[in-house]
Structure 1
Amino acid sequence: MLNDVKEKMRLLQVGVGGWGYSWASLVKQSPFWEAVGYVDISTESLNLAAQTYGMDTKRCFTDIQIALRELDFDAVLIVTPPETHYELVLKCLEEGKHVLVEKPLSNNIDKAVEMARKSEKCKKKLMVSQNYRFKRAVRTVKHVLESGLTGKPESLFVYFLKSPNFGVSNFRSRMENPLLMDMAIHHFDQMRYLLGCNPLRVWARSYNPSWSWFKGDAVADVIIEFEGDIQVSYHGSWVARGYETTWDGNWKIECALGGINWANNEVVFVPREIFNSVFNPGMFERDGKMVVELVPMEYEDRAYSLFEFYQAITLDRDPETSGKDNLYTLALTFGAIKSAQVGGWVYIDEIMAQK
């Protein structure tokens, strides 16, 4: 099915500077999409993207309203700062366009809910690019959890350490909660995907070390209680000193029949009864542990986001990370931020009720 593409769909990309510039490259390479135009408030970014990816400058605009009027297309990819998403998403949905938007869906839960409802009202797809769940390793962990070998997951520990410097002009450097809002949101979404359930309450503290180059808190400790009495402990830092993890972080999942360790793009299952373990295809023993071969994926990461968006439209189904589903990832993120600000537990239902 992956290669059975009868016709590419037409895509308008809004935001081609910075992260959007790399998105334009992915769209250019995609067998599912054809970029028909670019929108950006920066003419410099427009010109660079157009020159690099062969876009006619007559199809480049600084005003999305003009692009909507002048161009013929099926869907919109929005890669702009979070505070702009609300207006852009609603405008495109109202114009009858499907929308794929970078995370976070919004910096406000009320606006996020309105976007999800507008998608349903307009009968157009709204998908959030939570691309971290579209990688081979995390899909492999999900496969192991669903295999029956592990039993019920009960405890989850995530350790994330990175030190990216986006530059003072980047919106992340100016955010009040850059780690939680722009990075941990990926890990929170991975948790929901792997556990197959939603969070109930969250406790968090965040802080900013003296050496931080971020305006807002770049380090956070988070405790989350999920449905089914599943406990999660998360530590994340965007100003790490010394050792760094991968962007996914290091994961340890403790289950009734064993544990899963996922780090450095390797998935290992350690069964409770090592010598009585049933070895399965796709696994091999190493020092009493079962190393799991990563599941094959023709597309990964953001390339898979583009594929999933295309499939949702052509098969007329909800995207895996639809705007509606993503509300719980967003509510968990907002809940963690609120807890860090006021102290104490924050219940996810309280965040959702704000809508």
Structure 2
Amino acid sequence: MTYRMVHVGLGGQGRTWLTEAIPPNVEAGRLEVVAAVDTDPERHELARTELGLSPDRCYTDLDTALTERDADFCSVVTPPAAHEPVVETALSYGLDILSEKPIADTLAGSVRIARAVEQAGAKMGLTMTHRFDQDKTTFRRAVEDASPVDYLTARFTGNVRERGHYSPYVHEMEDMLLLDGAVHHLDMLASLVDAPCERVYADTWVPDGADYRGDCTGLVTLTFADGTRAHYEGSYANATTLNGWGHEQFRAECADETVVLDNREVERFGRDDDRAGESAGRDDGEHVPPVERPTWTNAWLIEQFCDWLGGGEPMPTDVASTLRSMAIVFAAIESSETGEAVEVPTMLNEARAVAQVQ
């Protein structure tokens, strides 16, 4: 079945959707873009050139677009602070929703969105893109073979201290490491554990010379209900880019195997008691061949969402599941502000209680 989509947001990541994520799904017959919406009319040209939309299908106002065009779902590829009103409008027209991360720019907003979707009986998925890249998928499957996991580590470090590498608004974000980068990395760590995250401790800061308003470097420790631990190191302001965007290092320590993802290569190191105490070299492990499939990241997530609309299983990053990842991120933000560990279930339950009375 072909689903009719209204695409909301043509700048930044919205441009990537137009050029990389949407076309494979249009070609496969999964979706048809019936309209594009952006408050800046100068961006409409991209929708016309990349998707072949006529000028009368490009709008500056979502309500007008949904009044004039029949659709099954709408995308939300706007800045996080604008997600909630877009979702509210889409739900008022009976649409399902596929949104960029995070759900919203606050935990309260994220809870309100999840609650509104549930009350409307709608489907909403989030494009937690990183988890569905080829190298991360290969790593996940290798870890599943080696389970159970004792502890996990992740490293994302880069020398992007100055402006010009990312959109200017990223440099002005509060808590930019946690909301821009770690929102993906912490979600990836949590997805590798078969238990909810219970406790988060985070320490974040802005190193000297880094041109960021919000903290761009930090260390985060996660404790899960089954006793699994995870540790995250993230920085946009190091002297050297060891594991930059898309080339992160993840390591899973299991009882009889260590699995490492580093710069998009996955290796597994089996337990070898004959070499106890000897350090293993990079080439001592067994190379894990990359998983192959037609599409990755957002293109694959759009495919998963369409399958869900067609009666398939909910996508792994449905709004209810992603809300738990958002709670981890906002718990890390609170921990970095207070200097104390934060109980994730308590924080999420308190946010839900507030949403109930609003």
- Using structure 1 for the length normalisation, give the TM-score: 0.90
In the superposition, relative to structure 1, how do residues 202 and 56 fare at CA in structure 2: closer, same or farther (>3 Å)? same
| Structure 2 residue aligned with 1:281 | none
Q: Distance in 2 between matches of 1:45 and 1:312?
A: 30
241-250 or 84-93: which moved more?
Answer: 241-250
Partner of 2:194: 196
Letter in 2 for 1:318: P
In structure 1, C-alpha distance between the alignment counterparts of 2:317 and 2:125, rounded to whole Å = 6
**Contact 1:168/1:174 (8 A) holds in 2:** no
C-alpha displacement at 1:194, in angstroms? 1.6
What residue in structure 1 maps to residue 252 of structure 2? 253
C-alpha spacing 1:151/1:67, structure 2 compared with 1 (3 Å)? closer
Give the equivalent residue in structure 1 for 2:213: 215
User: Larger % of helix: which?
Assistant: 2
**Aligned 1:75-94 pairs, distance under 5 A:** 75-94=73-92
Instruction: Identify the match of residue 72 of structure 1 among 70, 73, 76.
Output: 70
- 2:278 matched residue in structure 1: none
CA contact (8 A) 2:175 2:333 kept: yes
1:270-285 matches, cutoff 5 A? 270-273=269-272
Equivalent of 2:12 in 18, 27, 35: 18
Superposed counterparts of 1:225-304, under 5 Å: 225-248=223-246, 249-273=248-272, 288-304=284-300
Deviation at 1:262, TM superposition (A): 0.7
How many angstroms apart in 2 are the aligned matches of 1:253 and 1:267?
A: 11
Residues 1:144 and 1:60: Cα distance change in structure 2 (over 3 Å): same
Structure 1 match to 2:100? 102
Distance in 1, matches of 2:53 and 2:211, equals 36
In 2: Cα distance, 1:243 partner to 1:84 partner:
32
Structure 2: any 5+ residue segments left out of the alignment?
Answer: 276-281, 353-358
Q: Which residue of 1 aligns with 2:45?
A: 47
Once the two structures are superposed, what CA deviation does each residue of 1:91-137 show, in whole Å capped at 9, x if it has no partner? 21221111011100012222222222222222221001101111222
Query: Do 1:208 and 1:216's aligned partners in 2 also have CA atoms closer than 8 Å?
Result: yes
Paired residue for 2:149, among 149, 153, 174?
153
Please list, as runs of the form range in 1=range in 2, the aligned pairs for 1:102-141 lying within 5 A after superposition. 102-141=100-139
What amino acid maps onto 2:116 in structure 1?
K
1:309 and 2:305 equivalent? yes
Q: Which runs of 5+ in 1 are unaligned?
A: 1-6, 277-285
RMSD: 2.0
CA distance in 1, matches of 2:226, 2:153: 16
**Aligned partners of 1:83 and 1:106 also within 8 Å:** yes
Length, aligned pairs only:
338
CA contact (8 A) 2:143 2:252 kept: no
Is the deviation greater in 234-243 or in 339-348? 234-243
Between the aligned partners of 1:117 and 1:169, the Cα distance in structure 2 is: 31
The answer as to whether partners of 1:166 and 1:173 remain within 8 angstroms in 2 is no
**Paired letter, 2:227:** D
C-alpha deviation, 1:174, in angstroms: 1.4
